[in-house]
Each structure stands twice: as structure tokens, then as C-alpha cells.
Amino acid sequence: MNIQKMMKQAQQMQQKIADMQTELESREVEGTAGGGMVTVTLTGKGHMVKLAIDDSLVDKEEKDVMEDLIVAAHNDAKNKVEDMFNEEMGKVAGDMNLPAGMKLPF
């Protein structure tokens, strides 16, 4: 493979990554905890855009439980975002016809 072809492929990959990042920013993922009592919504880049807490949890005596459920819901959504990112990156790498075993720097 010549260097010009490799540079062109690198530029194409950079553009595909930029396009994918734009696409992921427009997508949303929900994470839940406590049987749906807490729901967190994140963008594909991991920005929290919504938090919904069931009215039955809004009790001062339940503050610690509510905080734990919020953390668990956020982590659930964040894991889904990471899975989505890895899936999209796999598509980009597959489109580039990279040699088997070649690792990408992300």
C-alpha cells in the first residue's frame, strides 16, 4: 500500500469519525434503575439531558436511596452510550478494509 493511499484512507476515516460523532450527539439513550423509578436520558456523547424521578421517591427519608438510584441509572445509560459508540466505530473500521489485527487509536 502506498503512502498516498494510506493518507487518503486516514482522511476518509477522520471524516467518517466526525460524521459519526455528529450523529451520536443527536441520538439519545435512556438508562433506568429501581424498576423504572428513576430514568436518566443522555445524548450519544454522554451528556445528561433529562432526569425523571418517580413521585414515590421524593421523601426526605429516602434521600440516600434516591441518590444511589440516580447514580445507577446514569451508569446504565453511560454503558449503553459506550456500547453504541463501539458499534459505530466498528462500522467505520470495517468500511476502511483495514488489515486484520490492526488496532485503531481510540
Tell whether the model's pLDDT for residue 1 goes beyond 80.
Answer: no
- pLDDT given for residue 37 in this prediction: 92
pLDDT tier, 35 (very low <50, low <70, confident <90, very high otherwise): very high
In whole angstroms, what is the distance from residue 68 CA to residue 56 CA?
15
* Cα 44 to chain centroid, rounded: 4
Kindly state the average pLDDT of the residues 43-53. 85
pLDDT of residue 34: 93
Per CATH, the number for 28-95 is 3.30.1310.10
pLDDT at 48 over 90: no
> Does 99 score more than 60 pLDDT?
no
Instruction: Domain ranges for the chain, please list them.
Output: 28-95
Using the predicted structure, report yes or no on whether residue 98 has a pLDDT greater than 70: no
